Structure 1
């Protein structure tokens, strides 16, 4: 490569290095870097960089050496040096620098470089995810829960990760025993281990799981059919004592199937048909009814570094053709460690979605049903304490025993990766809302809000404060409730709702009360105050219609309740007919309304009445010339009305 030759030339001219020695070192670093032996690479590159040598390629490789070995503080330093060169770089380094900064919880600086990543790669799924929720920290904080997590006593000083349960034992992967070293991290190869539950509820008596499944290379992430007779697990491409590599010399991960033997051991180990020496398949997870297997792979068609796939499990335990779960689940970064629980919720870890740093654990509730039916779904960050600024992955839960497990390399652990346990909390939700006046939309402080279960039994009650907000917590998921709002002088409002299976979902239900006791003032129109429909008259008539009489009873009741009230009855017509005719008609209607109230016992001196003909239309239905309007009958009827204007009450007069 031209860049490599340039590096070697500069090194050879430098007064700070012995020419031959530095050329050898850089060639060796390139070789080790290509072989993914990142620990040795970083040592050699550090030796070059710390003597003052600078180049974009050097800082990229040095940053990557630490980044891919999860030493993010060092990665941050060298990616920072790369950015300080102010040279054009691949936008991928903006993303990696942001991710490394998150490991140190420098979120403000990380967000700055994510903005640069968006500008350079706006169509990237990771950029779109960030752009859609720039307030991701606030969202994660909202779904975080107070769940105690425990570093398990079975953890070692090296790497322990991944969790599953098989019959009465707990299974996990570890490289705790001495042996051949893996060049990537200079630690022993992984094996599968089992631990039994103690009387105290912890797990101990750690032993290797099975001699035929474990080999001298990597084994991890095992999952079982519901019958417990067939297992799927991850192993290096090592089959029939032959280690196979791709054309670049890399040995990939593969999924193997094993059958339980009569003596309790595992045998008949075979490679699943879609494995290849050219890509990896790993971390299988079988669903509760044994029909689907989820796994991670970088096979052709993968969106990013690795994606989540699903494949049908056939009746004989063999597998169908894998299907990529698509861009709603996967990004251009890394998605791995899928786990499908007994309810069909899909958990997995990702470095490409909005998270706290490194791998975060995400969940899609009711994924299997939604995916099968093509229904929309939401990917949710599990929040703290499951997630942290470091790598968090390998989520597993037993909803029967309420045991939960995940793996993290967060500070305070015993080794590189440790397994943490927790008690799966009961699924509960919250409901909240505001109590409003349905007419004015103003809030109603002091209202009482009561929560009932589906049997109409009162669960909880509260009086809202000055902000008129109510909030009930701890509602069991997938249950029916009713919430009711009440206040004196208001009609109540109640709404029935059902909680979902998502413990992080906030249900919002506003309650709208109608004010029954209304302040009335001079000049108010009782028709509007009392929400009385227009007092209608039939065309060319002024007799009181039966429906109008019902509404006039409301006016009568108010006049009886407030004996000091005086009103002016105003009658109006539509435009059809002559001006003179309409004046006479409306006058007759006003007097007819007045006489009705007098006949019902209201003193005549409290009432005035006047007809206004067609001079005060409420719409554009004027007739010019007369009887030439294009309005409908319903629109004309809007103008055939009566109003009831309060002229005085309690000595106060209307000064219209």
Structure 2
């Protein structure tokens, strides 16, 4: 492809690079769970697990506990066990958190696999949330969507690329043969050399006819990637190292690229070009871009100090037209790959193409916000699995152009026009008490992307405990997390549609118990304890639940509990009373023997069917679920 000629005229190297995952900001402090909020949940669950008990709930709670505390290594350990032993019980959110833990531990391939499972369970079709080690290439990641159309001015079988704003026209590079008697053919790709062409832009944004740029800019060698100064009188462009009719090369006989400047004469044509002083015969300097005020000139180069195959550099331009020493933009922009084809819009945002990040394939277009130090992949449809480059954008009309070889032979680039449709969505977050529905003003809210990066945060405001997340990305997923002292932390996945939308999400927080009140039933904190039919021995699933009660008793050495066992109404009353008594004694003995709990801290008896919680008494037809409410074990806290 001819745009690759403009990197080097001999060999194009390919370079695969996977970016390191970024560190995540996680809210500090112990995040206690809904049910075990009055104790250190990690400590209790960890002790139960270390005692050899296993359950999906145990592993998921431990994984979540360590995840929320940013201990991703421990979180991965427990998510590993959860996914391996209880795959059918893993929730989408747990797959998501597992993937994040894996990414933090640099297990990128497995992380991608878990994200795939998450997306399958969520029924999402977008396959670009994760690509290698980066989530930068999501479709619709930027605010807004793009509609693209190939320009009619493209020549079939030839390369057309590097569009540039040229007053009311556009300027671009092409290998087309405009009918000269003698056409020079480049040996590398058997195409004519590049020249600069201008063309009128019609009302529909289309460009249908082109004329070779008049004046002295075009030569018998390559000219391309030009930028016009704001006053329209100076043209910077790229050319082979060909100055004053002399064709120069480096020690390896490679002809490098250089930047040139041409001034418009009184006839409106650009005169003989002069090369810029920071060029060299030993490296390439190419693809100019100007800041809106014309005081900074950006370009691509592989000069000494370059991190990869080529980097984005800049120089300042003073009022006399003098240039500062070239400055590398650094690792915020540049990678060990190839950064090239810069452009700066009217707001000062830098755009460029690179193959050094986790993109869709080939060169992808990225933007760089220097104030936020933020890199953004523009996503589809601007980017594709082919090379996408020489992106330019008019911020006022929200239209622009770029080049790509997505539809052609790799040597045949085409120019596309695009229009950006802005997404003006808003997300209103409401935080309420789950039990009462009352708004929880001054709750802390954080919005995170799927990389778990904290995007915005703040407090909910009166009167309805609302927080407004403005300017979210179109067609994007976010995790919204809410927390408040005295309540358990909760989060919810939300999706912002492609179209402009007002999205409202309600997060319900459960009150956290900070002390254990008298008469509180610890049985509410565990899953039901089941016994086999007509049996009173402790089953393995019941042992996991009793292990939690044991750990609470160990955590609170002064705590005393009264164990109460109940049955449903089915069967003979006297038999149910006797059965519940045997089960009660079996439960107490297990806690004493397995947990090492002093006998005097425990009391209890069986109540049979004497304390039903509903209407399901003898002779009343009830569902199994209704009967289950009555078959329960209670662990009532006594004064301590």
Q: Does 1:206 align with 2:210?
A: yes
Task: Name the CA shift for 1:346/1:509 in 2 (closer, same or farther; >3 Å).
Answer: farther
Aligned residue for 2:553?
none
Aligned residue for 1:270?
274
Contact 1:174 1:193 (C-alpha < 8 Å) held by counterparts: yes
CA radius of gyration, larger in: 1
Aligned residue for 1:295?
299
Contact 1:163 1:406 (C-alpha < 8 Å) held by counterparts: yes
RMSD, aligned α-carbons = 4.6
Between the aligned partners of 2:108 and 2:468, the Cα distance in structure 1 is 46
What SS class does the counterpart of residue 138 from structure 2 fall into? Answer: helix
Higher helix share: 1
Aligned residue for 2:283?
279
Higher RCO structure, 1 or 2 (CA under 8 Å, sep 6+): 2
Task: Name the CA shift for 1:434/1:133 in 2 (closer, same or farther; >3 Å).
Answer: farther
Task: Name the CA shift for 1:268/1:444 in 2 (closer, same or farther; >3 Å).
Answer: farther
CA shift for structure 1 position 177 = 1.2
Task: Name the CA shift for 1:148/1:436 in 2 (closer, same or farther; >3 Å).
Answer: same
CA shift for structure 1 position 352 = 0.8
Contact 2:404 2:416 (C-alpha < 8 Å) held by counterparts: yes
Task: Name the CA shift for 1:323/1:433 in 2 (closer, same or farther; >3 Å).
Answer: same
Q: Does 1:326 align with 2:330?
A: yes
Between the aligned partners of 2:637 and 2:468, the Cα distance in structure 1 is 45
Contact 1:350 1:359 (C-alpha < 8 Å) held by counterparts: yes
CA shift for structure 1 position 377 = 0.8
CA shift for structure 1 position 444 = 7.3
Aligned residue for 1:163?
163
CA shift for structure 1 position 201 = 3.6
Contact 1:407 1:417 (C-alpha < 8 Å) held by counterparts: yes
Between the aligned partners of 1:328 and 1:239, the Cα distance in structure 2 is 34
Task: Name the CA shift for 1:260/1:139 in 2 (closer, same or farther; >3 Å).
Answer: closer
Aligned residue for 2:222?
218
Aligned residue for 1:143?
141
Contact 2:431 2:460 (C-alpha < 8 Å) held by counterparts: no
Structure 1: gaps of 5 or more residues: 1-34, 39-63, 69-91, 97-114, 119-131, 371-375, 438-442, 451-467, 472-478, 486-490, 527-652
What SS class does the counterpart of residue 224 from structure 2 fall into? Answer: strand
Give matches, 1:517-532, under 5 Å: none
Task: Name the CA shift for 1:134/1:238 in 2 (closer, same or farther; >3 Å).
Answer: same
What SS class does the counterpart of residue 209 from structure 2 fall into? Answer: strand
CA shift for structure 1 position 148 = 1.9
Aligned residue for 1:153?
152
CA shift for structure 1 position 295 = 0.3
Aligned residue for 1:27?
none
Between the aligned partners of 2:510 and 2:236, the Cα distance in structure 1 is 71
Contact 1:399 1:424 (C-alpha < 8 Å) held by counterparts: no
Task: Name the CA shift for 1:177/1:444 in 2 (closer, same or farther; >3 Å).
Answer: farther
Find the partner of 1:231 among 228, 235, 246: 235
Q: Does 1:361 align with 2:359?
A: no
Contact 2:431 2:509 (C-alpha < 8 Å) held by counterparts: no
What SS class does the counterpart of residue 208 from structure 2 fall into? Answer: strand
What SS class does the counterpart of residue 424 from structure 1 fall into? Answer: strand
Aligned residue for 2:401?
405
Aligned residue for 1:418?
414
Contact 1:173 1:193 (C-alpha < 8 Å) held by counterparts: yes
Task: Name the CA shift for 1:197/1:517 in 2 (closer, same or farther; >3 Å).
Answer: closer
Task: Name the CA shift for 1:197/1:301 in 2 (closer, same or farther; >3 Å).
Answer: same
Aligned residue for 1:390?
386
Contact 1:427 1:503 (C-alpha < 8 Å) held by counterparts: no
Give matches, 1:46-445, under 5 Å: 134-136=132-134, 140-141=138-139, 143=141, 146-157=145-156, 158-177=158-177, 179-365=183-369, 367=370, 370=371, 377-411=373-407, 416-426=412-422, 428=424, 430-431=426-427, 433=429, 435-437=431-433
Over residues 332-364 of structure 1, what are the superposed CA-to-partner deviations in whole Å (9 max), with x where a residue is unaligned?
221100111111111111111111111011111
Over residues 379-421 of structure 1, what are the superposed CA-to-partner deviations in whole Å (9 max), with x where a residue is unaligned?
1211111111111111100112221211111136897111111
Contact 1:218 1:236 (C-alpha < 8 Å) held by counterparts: yes
Between the aligned partners of 1:386 and 1:445, the Cα distance in structure 2 is 48
Between the aligned partners of 2:468 and 2:296, the Cα distance in structure 1 is 37
Contact 2:136 2:376 (C-alpha < 8 Å) held by counterparts: no
Contact 1:143 1:504 (C-alpha < 8 Å) held by counterparts: yes
CA shift for structure 1 position 301 = 1.3
Q: TM-score, normalised by structure 1?
A: 0.49
Between the aligned partners of 1:517 and 1:359, the Cα distance in structure 2 is 48
CA shift for structure 1 position 435 = 3.0
CA shift for structure 1 position 317 = 2.8
Between the aligned partners of 2:133 and 2:145, the Cα distance in structure 1 is 21
Aligned residue for 1:493?
465
Task: Name the CA shift for 1:434/1:500 in 2 (closer, same or farther; >3 Å).
Answer: closer
